[in-house]
Structure 1
């Protein structure tokens, strides 16, 4: 599914954001849930890690390849997926969901490479 303005509006509604606002960071786990509810990130789940300190906001991206198999990323820090500066809500959503999607694609590619499976 493409990250169009209509899809971003649907994600914002799922997430409970004012589409006319601005933001620099969002809760990545909740945003991934809202993205899935809007038809994005199929099979992708974000798992927050227990923070080592107050500045450690890391998470894992899991891609469920089937009900019994998941491929998981290395820890990702939230600053790796949040926009580099304050922007409109649709642009922030597009940026974050796009980055999570890129990480998920990398996870699947690595899984395929190491498992010898040809997926996607």
Structure 2
């Protein structure tokens, strides 16, 4: 199974498709549309479709974004990409794609990555 990771930022969104060994199969980068939530969703779904066009194999999907995700409602808050605030992006993407989506704060994703296979690998405690 392939794994697609998307980093959503205030100015860009970047998608990296990895094979089971963790090797990069495809990498695409697009500007983040901040005019409206609908424009953002169209851009994100186009990015995913562009990856799927290169590699039509099924993939898991994980997204990191600069904001908090309310654990009760799934809505994003305190995001520097203001059009995302108040929306349940995970739910909306799952409805569009018909597949599970994992989503977390990008700083938490960075720290977990460092702890698993980065500078903190093997350490008992890692701070991010």
TM score, norm. by length of structure 1: 0.31
Higher strand share: 2
**More helix by proportion, 1 or 2?**
1
What TM-score do the two structures reach when normalised by structure 2?
Answer: 0.29
